[in-house]
A and B are shown apart, each in its own frame.
Chain A
Amino acid sequence: MARSNEVNLNECKMVVPLNTWVLISNFKLAYNLLRRPDGTFNRHLAEFLDRKVPANANPVDGVFSFDVLIDRGTSLLSRIYRPATAEEPQLNVAGLEKPVTAEVVPVIIFFHGGSFAHSSANSAIYDTLCRRLVGLCKAVVVSVNYRRAPENRYPCAYDDGWTALKWVNSRPWLQSQKDSKVHIYLAGDSSGGNIVHHVALIAMESGIDVLGNILLNPMFGGQERTESEQRLDGKYFVTLRDRDWYWRAYLPEGEDRDHHACNPFGPNGRSLEGIKFPKSLVVVAGLDLIQDWQLAYVDGLKKAGQEVKLLYMEQATIGFYLLPNNNHFHTVMDEISKFVVSDC
């Protein structure tokens, strides 16, 4: 057993830069400690270990941020990231919600990853990623600190996403000059990608337009064990066992992985045919064991006549977008910036 682990570790190290390997391996081992076999989660230790950063109303590299309490009842916070302008070097609290000035300003509502259980909007890895998106897309980014499993199961994360979306949509200061509307994009990685899909659905059904969905290594699954799951189990940081744990933690008790939250185009899913749905950019890492589900998701969208672009990054593992030290990162960032264009 030790032997096969050795092989796995070496393979893994060959495909990512060493510091990336250190980062993701560290998460992997720490996360192993946090998940308990009985399905509970060591939240205190998780919060202790998570590296967080405060919001910063002082611009750093052209971006400043501040937190907003969107819903007091659920303590729903979001972190807003905005580009700093030359005219406003020092912003006071009244200036933080100053109206956007450009003709068209994309507002990206971001849902961080963590398999529904880990991380927060103020986790350093996600604060960094969101800051990048601001410059990349000339956008305002709203990172939602949604409630996490297992303390808060389905549909809490989706509810929080929907609450945040309604809030964003109703901010006068986020309206683009061109049409006095908020130009909304949804983006997320891992569980955040899953949330993107479901919140987009709610939005479109409620008449709020979402201009585009960006799903980075989105978390989907199903009861069946797919070929990629079997082939890649335990090879590149992720195991089927931990995937199962997270679904058990998020889905309602007693539900299996064919629940529509997990498997939107599965036996309990629904067709999106004829439904107005945003165009989607779906990024799949070739070394992610759940890729078969992600590819099935893309297929499901296509079959329903929805606009979708698939970016299949063959040699990429999970988390490749956390550090700017590999080609996949740059390719994907380019595609995202093209996807979120200041048109329409």
Chain B
Amino acid sequence: MKRDNNHLQHNPSSSLCGGSSAGKAKLWEEEAAQQDCGMDELLAVLGYKVKTSDMAEVAQKLEQLEEVMCIAQDDGISHLASETVHFNPSDLSTWLESMLSEFNPPSSFDPFGAAGTTAGVMGTLDDPFVGGPAESSTLTTLDIENNNRKHQKRGPHILDEASCSDYDLKAIPGKAIYSQDTQTQPQTHDSSSSSTHNNNVKSEKRLKSTSGSHSGIFSPPPPAAVSSGIPTDSVRPVVLVDSQENGIRLVHALMACAEAVQQNNLNLAEALVKQIGFLAISQAGAMRKVATYFAEALARRIYRLYTQNPLDHSLSDVLHMHFYEACPYLKFAHFTANQAILEAFEGKKRVHVIDFSMNQGMQWPALMQALALRAGGPPAFRLTGIGPPSHDNSDHLQEVGWKLAQLAEKIHVEFEYRGFVANSLADLDASMLDLRPSEVEAVAVNSVFELHKLLAWPGAIDKVFSVVKQMKPEIVTIVEQEANHNGLVFLDRFTEALHYYSTLFDSLEGSVSCQDKVMSEVYLGKQICNVVACEGADRVERHESLTQWRNRFGSAGFSPVHLGSNAFKQASMLLALFNGGEGYGVEENNGCLMLGWHNRPLITTSAWKPAIETTATSTITN
């Protein structure tokens, strides 16, 4: 069958199989059958979700965009790169729409509207109250700078990346945050109707960029969105950072021991676990430490020393803090979650964050500072912190609340706090939280490395999902380990965990502070022990992958809220502070952000919102 592309051009929906020989005829038939409902499979494999039936329309948008970009030339399009916030590039159709809308008012299409002018539709972006979507919603003092810049003429606008990273330093909290005097004062604007109006316009714009057939905030994701283009749930990313001979023998021994445990051959397992100890000594660096922790965990499993003494709270706090300092994972988690929360809270006068992972509250100073600096003035900020009971009867949740209250006072943010002690998140009921009507107070629910623990008890996660929906949150920010440590087969879990923690430990090697590093290793070692040695309700470190969490959230009636290129960029710049950023990388995955070490994703931040039936504040745009 001779290839004839002209023929195909008149029939765009069957353009899938361009050139075909006889052998490809079958493909033609299959594709033809899928025409109206299916994704273009070839593009899906390459990371782009385009429905076959939309192909011609997408092509048209590309043509329009090219024309407009051609006319606008360099100066006119540089803002598309530097200021526009991009979302979910996989959804080509929506991405193109959002690009096109940068040149045109939302409601009308005028390809020549931007020609030679800097005013017109850019009005909303020039407005001092709005300051452009990319800049006003960042967590840095850059806000003020850029608001001023916006007042000037719009010209070739190339952001100076070096100065950005200087400003970011101020936003990164460390232990010092509690003693530091903040240097900046929040702007006080009259909360005018124009401010609100412009914020609404901006919100509408953002909705526009995320709405669409598969990524609408208000529509539940169809199952296809989860799996199309992505290989099945069991993707096992591995990066080998240590190719030394000893390293390989050590891994062999660990795997052999785990296999013996799997087969319940405990005598063999015991012998092997002793061997691992010897091999580990001869190994240097991260591999030795990882092997040691895994060996210990295996030994516990073999000798049935399942129960660990529950960690004293002050010790676990200390470990957590050191982990926070030693490497960027927690900072990334807080940073990206805060970014999403900040954007969700735009225009809201009263906000309420419910934190499932309160710990020492390290996530919140940065958010509070960003809220303090917000154009239009800070909202009233309420924080509900949830944590496990402490063993020494100290009310540590309250202490944390006190410190945050002091900070709030310094930065002039109206602050309210409540601490909740709960053994499990599943013990919570919405009625306990003193929720106020959503027209009055906007809610964000935040969970960093906590949700997976619920998978240890049947029904717990579903209970929590339903309670979260009752909170009617604007946004639910979730950070979880990007790994499947909850498989049914022990050996699989062991293998996954070995890959995962080897990579994580390797990334710690570059830590500046020895103490931070060692404490972090202990912190992670506890997780390793739990994954390998424990079972049943004791095994709480039940990490699951993004694909799995997407399924869970989707089934529970949540829709994704996408994180954009501004969060991506800021997170990337944050990483540069750690070891020059060498080795760390941020990746965008269908609206979620992943932090990885040498291309192996290790943690993922995702954001969600209850599906359409709960809110009706905006219309779905097409």
Binding site for B on A (CB under 8 A): 1-2, 5, 9, 13-23, 25-26, 28-30, 32-34, 36-38, 40, 42, 44-45, 47-49, 51-58, 60, 66-69, 72, 75, 77, 79, 90, 92-94, 96-97, 122, 124-125, 128, 145, 322-330
- Contact present for A15 and B66 (CB under 8 Å): no
Residue with the highest number of chain A CB atoms closer than 10 Å, among B15, B161, B234, B588? B15
Given contacts A45-B86, A67-B599, contact A36 B239 (CB under 8 A): no
Query: What residues on A are CB-neighbors of B195 within 8 Å?
Result: none
Closest to B236 in A: A57
Q: How many contacts between A and B, using CB within 8 angstroms?
A: 210
- Chain B stretch 544-571: residues in CB contact (< 8 A) with chain A: 565, 568-569
Could you give 14 example pairs across A and B, Cβ below 8 Å? A2-B70, A22-B55, A36-B81, A45-B86, A47-B586, A60-B231, A66-B238, A92-B255, A94-B252, A97-B248, A124-B46, A326-B3, A326-B18, A327-B19
Q: How many angstroms from the CA of A128 to the CA of B42 in the assembled complex?
A: 10
Closest to A73 in B: B582
Closest to B14 in A: A18
Q: Which of the residues B70, B81, B239, B240 comes within 8 Å of A42, measured between beta carbons?
A: B81
Residue with the highest number of chain A CB atoms closer than 10 Å, among B9, B80, B156, B599? B599
Q: Which 5 A-B residue pairs are closest in the complex by CB-CB distance?
A: A51-B47, A17-B18, A54-B237, A18-B15, A327-B19
A17-B8, A93-B498, A327-B21 known; 13 other A-B pairs, CB under 8 Å?
Answer: A17-B19, A23-B48, A29-B62, A30-B89, A47-B587, A49-B565, A56-B231, A79-B599, A122-B599, A124-B46, A125-B46, A323-B42, A330-B19
B586 to chain A, nearest CB (A): 7
- Interface: B90 (CB within 8 A): yes
- B71-79, B341-349, B438-446: which lies at the A interface? B71-79
- Interface: B32 (CB within 8 A): no
Q: How many angstroms from the CA of A69 to the CA of B582 in the assembled complex?
A: 12
Q: How many angstroms from the CA of A2 to the CA of B72 in the assembled complex?
A: 12
- Contact present for B5 and A14 (CB under 8 Å): yes
Given contacts A17-B18, A18-B59, A22-B43, contact A96 B586 (CB under 8 A): no
Given contacts A18-B56, A56-B237, A60-B231, contact A51 B46 (CB under 8 A): yes
Query: What residues on B are CB-neighbors of A47 within 8 Å?
Result: 568, 572, 585-588
Q: Which of the residues B6, B46, B80 comes within 8 Å of A322, measured between beta carbons?
A: B46
B15 to chain A, nearest CB (A): 4
A207 to chain B, nearest CB (A): 23
- Interface: B198 (CB within 8 A): no
Closest to B506 in A: A69
Query: What residues on A are CB-neighbors of B158 within 8 Å?
Result: 36, 38, 40
Closest to A53 in B: B47
Residue with the highest number of chain A CB atoms closer than 10 Å, among B8, B43, B498? B43
- Interface: B17 (CB within 8 A): yes
Given contacts A32-B77, A48-B588, contact A22 B46 (CB under 8 A): no
Query: What residues on B are CB-neighbors of A94 within 8 Å?
Result: 248, 251-252, 255
- Contact present for A37 and B156 (CB under 8 Å): yes
Q: How many angstroms from the CA of A66 to the CA of B236 in the assembled complex?
A: 9
Given contacts A33-B81, A51-B89, contact A66 B8 (CB under 8 A): no
